[in-house]
Structure 1
Amino acid sequence: MKIEIWAEVTCPWCGLGSHRLDRAVERFEHGDEVEVVHHSFPLSSSFPVGEIFSVRDALLRRHGMDASQAEVSTRRIEALAESEGLSPYKVLDNLVGNTDLAHEFLAHASAEGRNREAWDAIFRAYFGQARPVFSLDDLLDLGQQIALDREGTRRALTEHRYQRQVRDDAARAQRLGATGAPFIVVDGKYGIPGAQDSDGLLDVLRTAWDESHPLTPGTDDDAPVCGPDGCAVPAHS
């Protein structure tokens, strides 16, 4: 089974949604047969490159939230994350900026076979440690933590080798029906918008699995059978 999740690096619901998906897969009876692949859904391309803002400032600029509204909204997410095992999870006391380069970094890491490691590392750095993940140096340091070659990563990012791929990733999510992030697709059939709870995600995984693994008749003709008229046992018993 393949599960794809589209996310924005600095979206708090995306970090929480990724965590909830992990918990659902851990509880899933066939979790060892599940492949989870992360994709990019950039939402901050309108921010000027090289500028960083406080979350409070960004919420005011983009959503018109005053200080009290920002406090209520973000502290709620932080409390949810803590209750589900993500602590610390820094949302309000954090910074935001243009994440286009971060997504190129994630695409490069994925091409190097480190999709999961890179996404886990960037969420952990940003939400767990409130570390900036916007500049080239920020991303080169992060890459070293997951054993990416620093100079190879530098070349990939300065050449913007994965810029087109990031755009294509987001465009594919939109074709599949995504209007925001996170967005999850299970086995190419089930699209799940938003950070659904792990119980709901687990239900979808089980449904998708049952549909793709229908029961087949056994080969033992003498096996006991239950039908609409009751249960029968082999005649020779």
Structure 2
Amino acid sequence: MQIEIWSDVVCPWCAIGRARFNKALAAFEHRDEVQVRWRSFELDPQAPREPDGVDLVDHLATKYGIPREQALAMNQRVTESAAAEGLEFRLDRAQRGATFDAHRVLHLAADRGVQDAVKDRFFRAYFTEGARISDPDVLAELAAEAGLDAAEVREVLAGDRYAAQVRADQAQARAYGITGVPFFVLDRRYGISGAQPVELLASALQQAWAEHRPVLQPTPAAGDACADGSCAV
């Protein structure tokens, strides 16, 4: 069964949703038969590749048209939600930046079988360490820590490899009507929007599995059939 997750590496609720999904998946009896694939979604396609000196809190206040104090309170609430899932957020360190290249690296990571590890490393780098996620050198270093070859990452980022795949993910998101992330798509049957509670995610996994691998129920009345060699000729 395949689970596709549209998300961005600078989306706090994506990191929280990832932690909750991990808990649901860990308790799922068929977890070894579940394939997770991360899909690309840019929350801010206009974000700068180079530092622009704009404070993240001020950016949020401007984006949502709210006072700075309210933006700070929003960050505090999300930090507390993250802590409840065992995540350390230091949003005072976070640096706004473009994520298109990070998504390209994640496609490379999928091809090399280490996408989960690279995704988690990017989350921690952005939300806890204050890494500049738009910097190609930073991406190469982080990806190497998570199992990719740094030279290959730099080669990818020096060209346009995986750009088409990122855009294809974004086009699929539009086709699905996805406007916010995280967004979970289970076996192309069910869509779950947002960082939902562990219990809801666990229930969705069970339901999707039941339809993916239906259990046959015998009917009370049996017709003609061969069994135990009764039709041997």
* TM-score normalised over the length of structure 1: 0.86
Runs of 5+ in structure 1 lacking a partner?
A: 222-237
Cα RMSD, aligned residues only:
1.9
- Asked whether the 8 Å contact 2:101–2:134 carries over to 1, the reply is yes
Kindly indicate whether residue 23 of structure 2 is the aligned counterpart of residue 23 of structure 1: yes
Q: Which residue of 2 aligns with 1:189?
A: 189
Q: Which residue of 1 aligns with 2:150?
A: 150
Kindly indicate whether residue 107 of structure 2 is the aligned counterpart of residue 107 of structure 1: yes
Provide Cα deviations, 1:129-162, integer angstroms capped at 9, x if missing partner. 2222110111111122023222221111110211
Aligned with 1:44: secondary structure? coil
**Aligned residue runs from structure 1 range 72-91, under 5 A:** 72-86=73-87, 88-91=88-91
Runs of 5+ in structure 2 lacking a partner?
A: 222-233
- Asked whether the 8 Å contact 1:121–1:142 carries over to 2, the reply is yes
Q: Which residue of 2 aligns with 1:137?
A: 137
The one-letter code matched in structure 2 to 1:96 is: R
Aligned with 1:129: secondary structure? coil
Distance 1:117 1:150 in 2: 15
Aligned with 2:127: secondary structure? helix
Deviation (angstroms), 1:93: 4.0
Corresponding pairs, count = 219
Say which structure is richer in strand: 1
- Asked whether the 8 Å contact 1:75–1:92 carries over to 2, the reply is no
Distance 1:49 1:84 in 2: 30
Aligned with 1:95: secondary structure? coil
Provide Cα deviations, 1:49-107, integer angstroms capped at 9, x if missing partner. 21354321220232223221112111111111111222x12234422111112112212
Distance 2:67 2:92 in 1: 13
Q: Which residue of 1 aligns with 2:41?
A: 41
- Asked whether the 8 Å contact 1:109–1:115 carries over to 2, the reply is yes
Deviation (angstroms), 1:185: 0.2
Provide Cα deviations, 1:173-218, integer angstroms capped at 9, x if missing partner. 2212211111110111001111111111111111111222222247
Distance 1:199 1:91 in 2: 28
**Aligned residue runs from structure 1 range 1-237, under 5 A:** 1-52=1-52, 53-86=54-87, 88-217=88-217
- Asked whether the 8 Å contact 2:93–2:129 carries over to 1, the reply is no
* TM-score normalised over the length of structure 2: 0.87
Report % sequence identity: 37
CA shift in 2, pair 1:203/1:217, >3 Å: closer
- Asked whether the 8 Å contact 1:54–1:94 carries over to 2, the reply is no
Distance 1:150 1:59 in 2: 33
The one-letter code matched in structure 1 to 2:80 is: A
Distance 1:131 1:49 in 2: 13
Provide Cα deviations, 1:23-43, integer angstroms capped at 9, x if missing partner. 110122222221111111012
Task: Decide which moves more: 47-56 or 112-121.
Answer: 47-56
- Asked whether the 8 Å contact 1:70–1:92 carries over to 2, the reply is no
Q: Which residue of 2 aligns with 1:228?
A: none
Distance 2:151 2:211 in 1: 46
Aligned with 2:128: secondary structure? helix
Aligned with 1:168: secondary structure? helix
Distance 1:33 1:54 in 2: 43
